[in-house]
């Protein structure tokens, strides 16, 4: 009888516990994610450098997210908070990777995706798009506001939000299945030196992402939307099919494309093989080193090239091409190379992501919507580049061929 009573009580306890547990799962506020994120941030090297500024922003964020659930607005506010760390390697993404290529081809899977939370998470402001487009078309080329095109993808209207320094990029026309007219694909948050943090969705999968952007003379330097679609964007790297490439472009000049300093195989093996082929063969007076779109990697890769160029540059000239997507270890590489008198940097300002390093510091936030990537190592000598970038010695015009511009400069 006693055993029966105990079993009954245990069963009743389980029945009562189930709704309580379910309530705990459903009670997933932005505050829960914020508190967890804050604990992890306080362990980072960038928190120690920017502690006072971060604490002020944390207090503001705590107040602003009080009534938010774990959705797009929460994602935006947490990303804004992380800007106060002045650490561009720290990032927040959606855990849900969105629509993959296989699912795009499967009609039933695609229809399933269209009713998912991720597909419908992006803001749809009540705004007359025709009037907005007409108004934005009048904006000057130099203004961030305006209508931007990318053929085969989307037409965006970028406008300043009321009572905020942020901008919104709303879809005016779409040639993509995953994005609809009227959705906000990015909120653009200025954070100094004309950099913008784009908080929104992946162009291809709709995954929640944030990335560094800069808009210059009517061109999105990362995502390549532009106000005048008839003009070429020469800031992007050449030969997209090759990570490492050598060309002899004149009797006096060699061209090298170094597309990555990734320190893992197979890229690392390819790099070692390429650097080996350079040893003792760089005999011309001029070398164009193309680091456009090189997002970095590590010294395990880049030190092989640096060793060769350190010897070469003592007697010859090196011309380094950089753009907004030259980042991290690639920025550090240019910074070191620039110590030599025979080095000239050409292009436009780099990413400003050079000081910190990620080493196995990824965490899922409690509501299971976001993953945060934090840093655990600091390179203090590059601190002045963080969120500032490396300015080129010679700024190149985006609308004109960069290779012709650099060759004219050499001559």
Instruction: Report how far residue 270's alpha carbon sits from residue 335's, in angstroms, rounded to the nearest whole number.
Output: 24
Give the model confidence (pLDDT) of 268-302 as tens digits. Answer: 999 999 999 999 999 999 999 999 999 999 999 99
If you count DSSP H runs as helices and E runs as strands, how many of each does the chain have, helices first? Answer: 12, 19
Give the model confidence (pLDDT) of 367-391 as tens digits. Answer: 999 999 999 999 999 999 999 999 9
Instruction: Report how far residue 144's alpha carbon sits from residue 223's, in angstroms, rounded to the nearest whole number.
Output: 14
Domain boundaries, given as residue ranges, for the chain: 94-220, 244-354+389-410
Give the model confidence (pLDDT) of 36-52 as tens digits. Answer: 999 999 999 999 999 99
Instruction: Report how far residue 268's alpha carbon sits from residue 260's, in angstroms, rounded to the nearest whole number.
Output: 9
Residue 18 has pLDDT above 90, yes or no: no
Give the model confidence (pLDDT) of 208-219 as tens digits. Answer: 999 999 999 999
CATH top-level class of 244-354+389-410: alpha beta
**The pLDDT of residue 17:** 43
Whether the pTM exceeds 0.95: the reply is no
- Of 4-8, 117-121, 240-244, least confident by mean pLDDT is 4-8
- Please count the other Cβ atoms lying within 10 Å of the Cβ belonging to residue 208: 27
């Amino acid at each position: 009888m006693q055993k029966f009573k105990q079993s009954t009580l245990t069963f009743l306890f389980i029945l009562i516990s189930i709704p309580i547990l379910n309530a705990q799962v459903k009670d997933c506020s932005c505050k829960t994610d914020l508190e967890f994120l804050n604990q992890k941030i306080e362990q980072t090297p960038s928190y120690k450098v920017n502690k006072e500024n971060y604490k002020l922003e944390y207090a503001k964020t705590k107040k602003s997210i009080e009534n938010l659930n774990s959705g797009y607005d929460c994602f935006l506010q947490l990303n804004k908070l992380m800007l106060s760390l002045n650490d561009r390697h720290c990032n927040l993404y959606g855990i849900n990777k969105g629509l993959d290529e296989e699912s795009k081809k499967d009609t039933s899977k695609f229809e399933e995706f269209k009713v998912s939370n991720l597909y419908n998470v992006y803001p749809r402001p009540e705004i007359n798009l025709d009037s907005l487009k007409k108004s934005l078309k009048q904006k000057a080329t130099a203004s961030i506001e305006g209508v931007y095109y990318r053929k085969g993808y989307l037409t965006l209207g970028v406008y300043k939000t009321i009572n905020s320094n942020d901008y919104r990029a709303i879809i005016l026309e779409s040639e993509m299945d995953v994005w609809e007219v009227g959705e906000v694909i990015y909120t653009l948050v200025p954070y100094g030196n004309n950099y913008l943090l784009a908080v929104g969705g992946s162009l291809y999968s709709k995954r929640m992402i944030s990335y560094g952007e800069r808009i210059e003379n009517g061109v999105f330097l990362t995502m390549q939307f532009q106000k005048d679609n008839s003009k070429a964007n020469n800031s992007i790297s050449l030969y997209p099919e090759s990570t490492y490439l050598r060309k002899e472009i004149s009797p006096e000049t060699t061209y090298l494309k170094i597309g990555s300093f990734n320190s893992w195989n197979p890229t690392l093996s390819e790099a070692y093989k390429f650097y080996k082929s350079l040893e003792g063969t760089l005999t011309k007076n001029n070398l164009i080193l193309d680091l456009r779109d090189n997002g970095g990697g590590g010294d395990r890769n880049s030190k092989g090239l640096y060793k060769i160029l350190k010897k070469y540059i003592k007697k010859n000239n090196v011309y380094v091409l950089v753009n907004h997507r030259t980042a991290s270890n690639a920025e550090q590489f240019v910074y070191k190379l620039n110590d030599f008198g025979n080095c000239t940097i050409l292009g436009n300002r780099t990413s400003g992501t050079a000081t910190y390093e990620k080493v196995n510091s990824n965490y899922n936030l409690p509501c299971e919507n976001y993953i945060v990537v934090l840093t655990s190592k600091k390179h203090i000598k590059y601190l002045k580049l963080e969120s500032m970038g490396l300015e080129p010695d010679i700024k190149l015009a985006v609308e004109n061929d960069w290779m012709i511009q650099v060759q004219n400069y050499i001559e």
